[in-house]
C-alpha cells in the first residue's frame, strides 16, 4: 500500500485529488495546513508528499524546506497556481522533486506520482548494495560477494566491512573503528580490532590477487584498490 500525504487547504481540490488517487489504490491522508501536516509527518510514514504552495499558515515552499531538513528521501510534488509559476523554482530549490501547475488533468497528476514513486523504488533497490572494486556487500542479507563468490560474514565482520565500504579510500583509526563497530572507547592495550580486521581479510582476500584492506602503520586501516 502506497501512503500519500496531501497538504491542500482548498476543499474542492483536496477532495478531487483524494478521490481520484484512492480509486487508483493509493492511501491518502490530507492536511489543510502546514501545522497539521507537520504533526502528521511526525506520526505517520509516507511514500510521497503533495504540497500546495498557498496554504493558510506556512507557505508550501517553506514547509518543503523544513521537511527536507530531516527527510531527504521522500518524494515531494508541489502544486502551484498558474500565476505563481515563479514559485516552481523556489519549490525545486527548497527540495521538491517535481511540480504541477493548477489546474491540471488528473491523468497528469497520476503520471507524475507514478514517475516519482518509480524513481524512489529504483533508488531504494540500489541503495542496499555497497560496491567497491570487485567486492559487493548486500546490507539487507549481510552477504558479501567478490568475483562471483559469495562470502558469509559474522555480524561483527559485516558491520566492520560496511564501515570500510561506506568510507572507501579513507584511513580509519582503531579508535574510530572501535567506536563505530563496538560502540566502545578504544583501549590501546588490546588488539581485538587487528584480530577482527584479519578475520575479515581472510574472508574477502583469501584466494584473490588484490588486497583490499591495507594497514597504514601508526594510523589504522584503509579500504583501497591495489590496481
Ligand atoms: Ca491552496
pLDDT band at residue 157, thresholds of 50, 70 and 90? very high
Between CA 212 and CA 203 the distance in angstroms is: 11
Contact 96, 77 (CB under 8 A): yes
Mean predicted confidence (pLDDT) in 125-143: 87
Phi, psi of 168 (to 5 degrees): -65, 150
pLDDT digits (tens, 9 = 90+) for 70-125: 888 899 999 988 677 677 778 788 899 999 998 899 999 999 999 999 888 766 66
**Which one, of 41, 31, 40, lies nearest residue 11 by Cα?**
31
CA of 55 to the centre of ligand 1 (A): 5
Measured on CA atoms in the order 182, 185, 186, 189, is the torsion positive or negative? negative
Q: What is the arrangement of strands in the sheet containing 213-216, beginning at the earlier edge strand?
A: 171-172, 220-223, 213-216
3-state helix/strand/coil string of 22-44? HHCCCEEEEECCHHHHHHHHHHC
The grid cell for 104 is 491540471
The pLDDT of residue 14 is 97
The pLDDT of residue 3 is 95
Mean predicted confidence (pLDDT) in 136-150: 91
Contact 14, 109 (CB under 8 A): no
pLDDT digits (tens, 9 = 90+) for 158-208: 999 999 999 999 999 999 999 999 888 777 677 889 999 999 999 999 989
The pLDDT of residue 148 is 87
Residues with CB under 5 A from ligand 1 (ion): 9-10, 52, 54
**pTM of this structure:** 0.59
CA of 10 to the centre of ligand 1 (A): 5
CA of 53 to the centre of ligand 1 (A): 6
pLDDT band at residue 227, thresholds of 50, 70 and 90? low
CA of 11 to the centre of ligand 1 (A): 9
Angle at CA 48, nearest 5°, toward 45 and 53? 115
CA of 32 to the centre of ligand 1 (A): 9
Domains along the sequence of the chain with CATH: 3-126 (3.40.50.2300), 129-223 (1.10.10.10)
What percent of the chain has a predicted confidence (pLDDT) above 70?
96
Phi, psi of 195 (to 5 degrees): -65, -45
pLDDT digits (tens, 9 = 90+) for 68-83: 988 888 999 999 886 7
pLDDT digits (tens, 9 = 90+) for 21-68: 999 999 999 999 999 999 999 999 899 999 999 999 999 999 999 999
CA of 145 to the centre of ligand 1 (A): 51
**Which one, of 18, 19, 71, lies nearest residue 41 by Cα?**
71
**Which one, of 29, 119, 43, 107, lies nearest residue 74 by Cα?**
119
The grid cell for 128 is 542496499
The pLDDT of residue 25 is 93
CA of 65 to the centre of ligand 1 (A): 17
Amino acid at each position: 500500500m502506497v501512503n500519500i500525504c496531501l497538504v491542500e487547504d482548498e476543499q474542492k481540490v483536496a477532495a478531487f485529488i483524494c478521490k481520484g488517487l484512492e480509486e487508483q489504490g493509493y492511501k491518502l491522508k490530507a492536511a489543510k495546513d502546514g501545522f497539521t501536516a507537520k504533526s502528521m509527518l511526525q506520526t505517520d510514514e509516507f511514500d510521497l508528499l503533495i504540497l500546495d504552495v498557498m496554504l493558510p499558515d506556512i507557505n508550501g515552499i517553506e514547509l518543503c524546506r523544513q521537511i527536507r531538513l530531516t527527510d531527504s528521501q521522500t518524494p515531494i510534488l508541489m502544486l502551484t497556481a498558474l500565476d505563481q509559476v515563479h514559485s516552481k523554482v523556489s519549490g525545486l530549490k527548497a527540495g521538491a522533486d517535481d511540480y504541477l501547475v493548477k489546474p491540471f488533468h488528473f491523468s497528469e497528476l497520476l503520471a507524475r506520482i507514478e514517475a516519482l514513486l518509480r524513481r524512489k523504488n529504483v533508488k531504494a533497490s540500489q541503495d542496499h548494495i555497497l560496491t567497491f572494486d570487485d567486492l559487493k556487500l548486500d546490507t539487507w542479507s549481510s552477504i558479501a560477494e567478490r568475483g562471483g563468490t559469495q562470502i558469509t560474514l559474522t555480524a561483527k565482520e559485516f558491520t566492520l566491512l560496511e564501515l570500510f565500504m561506506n568510507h572507501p579510500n579513507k584511513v580509519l583509526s582503531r579508535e574510530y573503528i572501535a567506536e563505530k563497530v563496538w560502540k566502545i572507547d578504544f583501549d590501546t592495550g588490546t588488539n581485538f580490532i587487528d584480530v577482527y580486521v584479519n578475520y575479515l581479510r581472510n574472508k574477502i582476500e583469501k584466494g584473490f590477487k588484490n588486497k583490499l584492506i591495507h594497514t597504514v602503520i601508526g594510523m589504522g586501516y584503509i579500504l583501497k584498490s591495489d590496481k
